[in-house]
Amino acid sequence: MEKIKDLKSELSELDKKHFLHPTSSIKMQQESGPAYIFVKGRGIYLEEISGETFIDGMSSLWNVNIGHGREELGRVANEQMNTMAFSSAFSTYSHEPAIRLAKKLSELTPGDLNVCFFTSGGSESNDSAIKMARHYWKLKGKPERKKILSRKLAYHGVSMGATSATGIPEFHEMTSSLAPDFVYAPSPNARSWSEIEDVDLTCIDETIKIIEKEGPETIAAFIMEPIQGAGGMIIPPNGYLKAMREICDKYGILLIADEIITGFGRTGKMFGVEHWDVTPDMMTVAKGITSGYIPLGAVIFSDRIHQELIELSTGTLFHGFTYSGHPTACMVGLKNIEIIENENLVQNTEQRGIELSKGLTKLEEKHWSVGGIRNKGLLGAFELYQDCTSKKRFDPSLGVAKRVVDECLKRKLIVRPITYEGTDTIAIAPPLISTKEEIEQIVSIFSDAVSVVESQLNG
């Protein structure tokens, strides 16, 4: 035990000196060092260096879809590295892992999304989609179509284009300038089952107004997450996605679906857009494509766009990453998809989602502060309100969502608070292999955690 303590404090000191953490408080890291140093993962569990085991209720960063510790993935990575660690896919070079994965993705994705460009993650995928949309219009002789329409509270990543497409002010404020030609429409902002079922789609009218004000002939593409994740776990009202597809068609705007969280079974369908029967012109994926075992992302294009690119392009496509189609990542992706299919994880997620929504309903009934419950498959959330009926929020200085998350952590459940625009949202996204019992355990921990915080607030 002493040895482990020594190791943790040694690592903690090194962490503070040498490791700048992503999306973290630099000051807090210096004051307290890392609170948790994880050493092992199995199923839906992560083990901390002290030996304590936690439920990974967020699938880490909404990515470990098939759960931790699947040795098959390690085996295929090892085999591929030993066979051919790397080979370029630039120009006329190619290799079987990328070809096979591209073919597999074309089978999995809806409609005529059949042509794949590989990246190493979500931000790269979105930047690529944005550039490709502008490239497409330029080839078509319409370079003035360059604006990217995004939404408030959207999260699309942190590279320059992806940050600019992101609609969360905090991500814009950290830097002095953004990429040009991004405009923002309102997001549906539905935060409960009843709002999702509501057909009042005022945000669509506002979006149309923005398109008309900007000039439809200046807009290259509309980018949207089918379900907004990091911005507040917002499931759009029924009818929203279909309406946005129709609006894009009417104005000739390309539709990019960011399926980086919602892809690969997370919502109880293989891709989020399938819930609303919508096919985008481009789909961006990452995270669940390898369940986080190795970095990989992709942009999947429709045949129509691809065909036009073939007809119109005259020279080199000056866009490609060294790791566009890394052979090992592609092999891991293929094995990960095989596991999702062979183990019926999409169907499992649909079933677990039904159980999760029952559990959240009970949570809402039992606790005066819990409202705004919602989920699709294993992507869900609830809100904490000072008064659920009037939807009065807590004073942000009380840090209610953070306190609930801390109580969950004490009970060995990792979940995530989202507090943009004064909200107190708790997001939940456990691995797709979760069992009925594990979902019940998660809801039971939520209930205990909320009880503690409610009694503090009452007291």
User: Rounded to whole angstroms, how far apart are CA atoms 91 and 119?
Assistant: 16
Q: What is the DSSP letter of 69?
A: -
Task: Figure out which of the listed residues 97, 122, 265, 430 binds ligand PMP, where binding follows CB under 6 A.
Answer: 122
- The residue number whose beta carbon is nearest to ligand PMP equals 122
Q: Report how far Cα 228 is from the mean position of its chain's Cα atoms.
A: 8
Which tokens sit at 335? 């094995």
Task: Figure out which of the listed residues 134, 152, 156, 374 binds ligand PMP, where binding follows CB under 6 A.
Answer: 156
Kindly tell me the burial class for residue 218, based on how many C-beta atoms sit within 10 Å of its own C-beta (0-12, 13-18, 19 or more).
middle
Closer Cβ to ligand PMP, 231 or 327, answer by number: 231
Helix (H) or strand (E) holding 117: strand 113-119
Closer Cβ to ligand PMP, 232 or 237, answer by number: 232
DSSP 200-263: --HHHHHHHHHHHHH-GGGEEEEEE-SSB-TTT-BPPPTTHHHHHHHHHHHHT-EEEEE-TTTT
Look at phi and psi of residue 391 and say left if phi exceeds 0, alpha if psi is from -120 to 50, else beta.
Answer: left
Binding mask 123-142 for ligand PMP (x = CB under 6 A): x--x----------------
Closest CA to 57 of 370, 374, 364, 430: 430
Looking only at residues 210 through 269 of this chain, which bind ligand PMP when binding is defined by CB under 6 A?
A: 225, 229-230, 258, 260-261
Least CB distance to ligand PMP at residue 41 (A) = 19
Task: Figure out which of the listed residues 286, 340, 363, 415 binds ligand PMP, where binding follows CB under 6 A.
Answer: 286
Least CB distance to ligand PMP at residue 225 (A) = 5
Say whether residue 378 binds ligand PMP (CB under 6 A).
no
CA-only gyration radius of the chain, Å: 22
Q: Is 317 helix (H, G, I), strand (E, B) or coil?
A: coil
Look at phi and psi of residue 221 and say left if phi exceeds 0, alpha if psi is from -120 to 50, else beta.
Answer: beta
Least CB distance to ligand PMP at residue 45 (A) = 22
Closer Cβ to ligand PMP, 57 or 121, answer by number: 121
Helix (H) or strand (E) holding 456: helix 436-458
User: Rounded to whole angstroms, how far apart are CA atoms 278 and 262?
Assistant: 14
CB neighbourhood size of 25 (10 A):
10
Closer Cβ to ligand PMP, 225 or 424, answer by number: 225
Binding segment for ligand PMP (CB under 6 A), chosen from 40-48, 152-160, 320-328, 376-384, is: 152-160
Least CB distance to ligand PMP at residue 239 (A) = 22
Least CB distance to ligand PMP at residue 252 (A) = 25
Place of tokens 């699309």: 156
Looking only at residues 29 through 68 of this chain, which bind ligand PMP when binding is defined by CB under 6 A?
A: 61
Task: Figure out which of the listed residues 57, 67, 97, 121 binds ligand PMP, where binding follows CB under 6 A.
Answer: 121
Residues that bind ligand PMP (CB under 6 A): 61, 121-123, 126, 155-157, 225, 229-230, 258, 260-261, 286
